[in-house]
Amino acid sequence: MADPQTAHPAVIAGRYRVVSEIGRGPSATVYLADDAVLGRRVAVKVFVAARAGEELRLQEAEARRVAALEHPSLTALFDAGVATEFDGAPRIFLVSEWTDGPHLRSQVDLAPLSPTAVAHLGLHLAEGLAHIHSRGLVHGSIKPDNVLLSAHDSLTRPWGKLADLDQKTVVSGSQGPADEAPSARHRATLELTPAEDVLGLGATLAFALSGSLEFDDTGSVRLPEGTPRALADTLTAMTAPSPGDRPDAARVADELRLFFVSAVSGTRVRADDRTTERERVAAVRRYGILDTPPDEMFDRLTRLAARMTDTPMAFVSIVDEDRVFLKSIHGSDLSGDVPVDESLCTFTARGGEPWTAYDIWTDPRTRNVPLPLERGSVNSYAAAPLVTHDGYAIGSLCVYSVAHREFSDSDLDDLSELAAIGMRELELVRTARSVRQVAA
């Protein structure tokens, strides 16, 4: 039964003990609750009572579509069902993860984020948004209060999740009062389309950068003086008055990623066109090397690279869209994948040229990269790209030195030769695979 003082039941679906109401809108109310079965805190979103059986069936169908969403930048869905504790009226409910970090607005109230932090947060949120749109849905309510930050990440590289998905299909319609999301502040009504989600995200990121949100007489967002040009161009495009002028979420993710990598490396990323980066990733995929087991040929390359450059550690890495796959590892206990923004090999693949760093911990190009290595365990770095026959750098062969040292041109030539040998092996394997497919 519902508590007459709080207008909600003490327990939902016999399992979720309500702690408090944390949000309310025209279509649903969100409660903070304790899961009595698994002993964890969750968010329970309960939709308004359906007025007819057909409306309930439509809500159930939409809930199933939302349940199909799975992305690290979206709050995870744990459970769904129909609750009858609300005066006996059946109501659809969704149970999602509850993060213990602050929402973006409360963090920005303390201090706005830096341009690189905004880019890092935005690229991951844009990837989550692109995932939503690819499933035929829109978020419908992107605002600082609906971006939940991890309590365990640094403010230089914040990670957030989009919460409170309104689970609406991509159809035209108006969206609530104009103060529900920052994107609505300069429009009376909003069409529920992916373009309006991009607008909401752009406005939210602009708010994170400046601590406020203002638009000029033309409808363009105002950004703080000194905002880097590449970031300003992306945010301005995202908040363009005309929906047709806004980039899609996937393009936003590409542009913010390239800006972030360029900013932390201290150099302009050469592959600064989104089409080029997508083509590079497509080149990575065509070789079928991601997630493959260790290979003696590549292990021999890393051993040779370490021996020829007199270094203790060497890697063959393949740089995918959002991760770096470590194909061969010599002298390190790392394994599996590394996020693209935590690897120097990302610079090699996206820069496309051999390069070195005398001190990776103080070099302005590399000092802000959160490497999965203990500070001081290695200090100097050299790498050469793995370049395909048609010119795409899909990865790198790199070495690390414990002692500070200046790698010579001869060292880089050796690494380039070894990288070319590895690339030739990949070309041969790909050709052999194609022949087998034709023969079959």
pLDDT digits 0-9 by tens, 208-237: 999 988 887 777 788 988 888 889 999 999
Q: What is the mean pLDDT of the chain?
A: 82
pLDDT of residue 3: 45
User: Which tops the pLDDT comparison, 130 or 257?
Assistant: 130
Determine which helix (DSSP H) or strand (DSSP E) holds 281, and give its type and residue range.
Answer: helix 274-286
Per-residue model confidence as pLDDT tens digits over 119-160? 989 999 999 999 999 988 888 889 998 898 875 555 567 878
| 327 closest CA partner among 339, 314, 315, 340 | 315
CA 269 distance to own-chain centroid: 19
The pLDDT confidence band at residue 29, using thresholds 50, 70 and 90, is confident
Alpha-helical segments (H) within 69-176: 104-110, 115-134
pLDDT of residue 189: 43
Cβ proximity of 197 and 167 under 8 Å: no
pTM > 0.75: yes or no: no
Rounded mean pLDDT of 323-343? 91
pLDDT of residue 174: 34
DSSP string, 205-253: HHHHHHSS--B-TTSPBP--TT--HHHHHHHHHHT-SSGGGSPPHHHHH
Residue 89 in this model has a pLDDT that exceeds 70: yes
pLDDT of residue 341: 87
Domains in the chain with CATH codes? 2-97 (3.30.200.20), 104-265 (1.10.510.10), 280-439 (3.30.450.40)
User: Which tops the pLDDT comparison, 117 or 177?
Assistant: 117
pLDDT of residue 173: 35
Specify the range with the lowest mean pLDDT, choosing from 69-73, 176-180, 257-261.
Answer: 176-180
| 235 closest CA partner among 217, 215, 262 | 215
The pLDDT confidence band at residue 437, using thresholds 50, 70 and 90, is low
Rounded mean pLDDT of 281-293? 91
In 159-312, beta strands by DSSP E: 160-162, 168-169
Residue 207 in this model has a pLDDT that exceeds 90: yes
pLDDT of residue 267: 46
pLDDT of residue 187: 43
pLDDT of residue 7: 67
